Amino acid sequence: MKLPTSTEWVLHCAASLAQLQPGETASATQLATYYDLPAPYLAKQLQALTRAGILAASTGPRGGFRLARPAADITMLQIVEAVDGAVAPYECREIRQQGRGALSAEECRETCPLARTMAEAHDAWRASLAAVSLADILAELPSGAPARTRRILTG
């Protein structure tokens, strides 16, 4: 069970974009330079966030990415699932219905306890991430951080 490396990238990028002022944008190249990341691959991930409706993209000179809605309305879960997909890590293939000890369809009306337990754990994980928004993250940074980020990122 492993999240893509790019998860950390987009989380930090989203946090940086949240520190910009309304109307300002940052290009994929600027963000890649800011964190020393491979620019083309980072752009690919930012596109995924755009498709998910988390970021908005502008083309042309002075274009780039910005948050599609207020930082308080963007949760960690939304960002993570945008890059990794929203599929549960445990996929029940109903092996209890296969082989020598196969159960009848009648006996499988109830979801098997194993799958249910795994699903509950996944729900707990999702709830924990959904409880934290980008605004909550920004609130934990030093008060001077946004100005510094804007100056270095766009400079």
Among a second copy, DNA, none, what binds residue 57 when CB lies within 5 to 8 Å by partner kind?
Answer: DNA
Q: How far is the CB of 37 from a second copy (least distance, A)?
A: 7
Task: Indicate whether 99 belongs to the interface with DNA (CB under 7 A).
Answer: no
Structure tokens at 90: 């445990």
What is the rounded distance in angstroms from the CA atom of residue 111 to the CA atom of residue 108? Answer: 6
Residue number with CB closer to a second copy (56 or 141): 141
Across-strand partners of 65?
A: 26, 57
Q: How far is the CB of 4 from DNA (least distance, A)?
A: 3
Single-letter code of the amino acid located at 16: S
End-to-end CA gap in the chain: 38
DSSP 140: T
Cβ contacts of 29 within 8 Å, gap of 6 or more = 39
Task: Indicate whether 154 belongs to the interface with DNA (CB under 7 A).
Answer: no
Q: Which residues of 65-81 are buried (b: 16+ CB within 10 A; e: fewer)?
A: bbbeeebeebbbbbbbb
Residue number with CB closer to DNA (2 or 109): 2
Task: Indicate whether 53 belongs to the interface with DNA (CB under 7 A).
Answer: no
Taking every pair of Cα atoms in the chain, the longest distance, rounded to a whole number of angstroms, is 67
Using CB under 8 A, list all residues that contact a second copy: 1-3, 5, 7-9, 11-12, 15-16, 33-37, 76, 84, 87, 89-93, 95-96, 98-102, 107, 113-114, 117-118, 120-122, 124-125, 127-129, 132, 136-137, 140-142, 148-149, 152-153
Among a second copy, DNA, none, what binds residue 34 when CB lies within 5 to 8 Å by partner kind?
Answer: a second copy
Residue number with CB closer to a second copy (22 or 113): 113
